[in-house]
Amino acid sequence: MNNVLEQNTVPEEESMQAIEAHGLEKTYPGDVRALDGMSFSVEAGTIFALLGRNGAGKSTTVKILTTLSRPDAGDAHVAGIDVLDDPDAVRHAIGVVAQRSGVDRDATGRENLTLQGQLYGLRGRRLRKRAAELLERFGLAEAGGRIARGYSGGMQRRLEVAMGLVHRPEVLFLDEPTTGLDPEARKFMWEEIARLAGDEHLTILLTTHYLEEAERLAGQVAIVDRGRIVVEGTPESLKGELRGDAIHVGLGEPEANGRVQAALERVAGIRELVLDGQSLRARAENGAAAIPSVLGALEAAGVRVTAATVSRPSLDDVYLRYVGRTFDQADDDTKEVS
């Protein structure tokens, strides 16, 4: 209890997987099924991203892994410790930056850090030193004595990450760490997160609904939809599975499946056709070569085309393939500004 460092050593044979979740299920009152068989594992020292729209089950997963909430079924280990059997030991091993701030806005940055440290058993000179070190590192050295109410969004988020690290955890949970930040603050946060994983050999579980964020930071990405993981892999392997280029054609009017489908069936090399209103997506081994025949077939069928693009596969395409909606559309129902 008193020695935080001691708590942080993991038994040798467990050290490969920092997080293991198996068959997690959770239903909230009102029959809201938040998790429906969520399973994944995260190798120690890596960054793992859970990617999905709001309400997909990312935050619920984080709540369970961080001992805040209990699953209805399934089990999970964090840092080799069972989250249901020994939540207190898990709490010593993890740092958490939740989606909702959690900063005490009536206290200064330094006071926030100090109290956080005290809860992990840090005291005296060691705590003061650690707080000063973290304030410095997160660019808050000058602001440390000011009341957090006056901090900008970026400063507050940096303070939250600093608080999550005060006891040098093994596993850090970042629940949508850059949602609501301006581009500059987001860039700073990305650099800092990348550095944490690199220098400190920290395992990081990141949830995000920014494709770019997952792609940039995570070694391993899992796409979450309706409370379960639909596909998982490195960003490269996920994109590699798609084989070939993405073709995106904007249509003049919303089209129901039928004539578009029929028109394109005859075009060679076109696969994985997805039509969603005015947006038509498909894949082809060589996108640039396929475009003329696609446009020709559409024109012959009397379908008006407003735009056509060819791109290398992106995570968005991966998302589309497995969730069946594009990421932006899936995210439309949320109030977050991306």
Tokens of 196: 């944490």
Nearest approach in angstroms of CB 244 to other proteins is 44
Pairing of strands 17-28, 32-43: antiparallel
Q: Where are the alpha helices (DSSP H) in 222-280?
A: 235-241, 259-265
Q: Which residues between 181 and 210 bind other proteins (CB under 8 A)?
A: none
Q: Kindly state the smallest distance separating residue 314's Cβ from other proteins, in Å.
A: 33
Least CB distance from residue 282 to other proteins, whole Å? 43
Q: How wide is the angle at C-alpha 188 spanned by C-alphas 185 and 192, nearest 5°?
A: 140
Binding segment (CB under 8 A) for other proteins, from list 42-50, 66-74, 133-141, 320-328: 66-74
Shortest distance (Å) from residue 300 CB to other proteins: 57
Torsion of CA 150, 153, 157, 158, to 10 degrees: -70
Residues 6+ apart with CB under 8 A from 20: 40, 41, 42, 76, 77
Nearest distance from C-beta of residue 262 to other proteins, angstroms? 51
For the chain, percent helix, then strand, then coil, each to nearest 5?
Answer: 40, 30, 35
Number of residues interacting with other proteins: please give it, by CB under 8 A.
Answer: 31
Which range, of 74-82, 112-120, 275-283, 302-310, touches other proteins by CB under 8 A? 112-120
The single residue among 162, 163, 221, 315 that binds other proteins, judged by CB under 8 A, is 163
Q: What is the DSSP letter of 267?
A: S
- The three-state secondary structure class of 265 is helix
The Cα-based distances of 19 to 44, 62, 214, 226 in angstroms read 8, 11, 18, 21
Nearer Cβ to other proteins (169/235): 169
Question: Taking the complex as a whole, how short is the minimal distance between the CB of residue 63 and other proteins, in angstroms?
Answer: 6
CB of 186 to other proteins, least distance (A): 20
55 binds other proteins per the rule CB under 8 A: no
Piece of 59-67, 219-227, 246-254, 264-272 that binds other proteins (CB under 8 A): 59-67
Task: Give me the least distance between CB of 112 and other proteins, in Å please.
Answer: 9
DSSP-derived 3-state class of residue 52: coil
Please, which of residues 72-111 interact with other proteins by CB under 8 A? 88, 91-92, 94, 96, 98-107, 111
- Could you give the 3-state DSSP secondary structure of residue 266? coil
Contact residue for other proteins among 116, 208, 279, 314 (CB under 8 A): 116
Structure tokens that stand for 63 in this block:
């709540």
Backbone angles phi, psi at 214, to 5 degrees: -65, -45
Q: Which is nearer to other proteins, 60 or 208 (CB)?
A: 60
Contact region with other proteins (CB under 8 A), list: 113-121, 198-206, 207-215, 265-273: 113-121
Nearer to other proteins, 173 or 319 (CB): 173
| Residue environment code for 190-206, b if the CB has 16+ CB neighbours within 10 A, otherwise e | bebbeebbeeeebbbbb
* Residues in contact with other proteins by the rule CB under 8 A: 1, 29, 63, 66-69, 88, 91-92, 94, 96, 98-107, 111, 115-116, 118-121, 147, 163
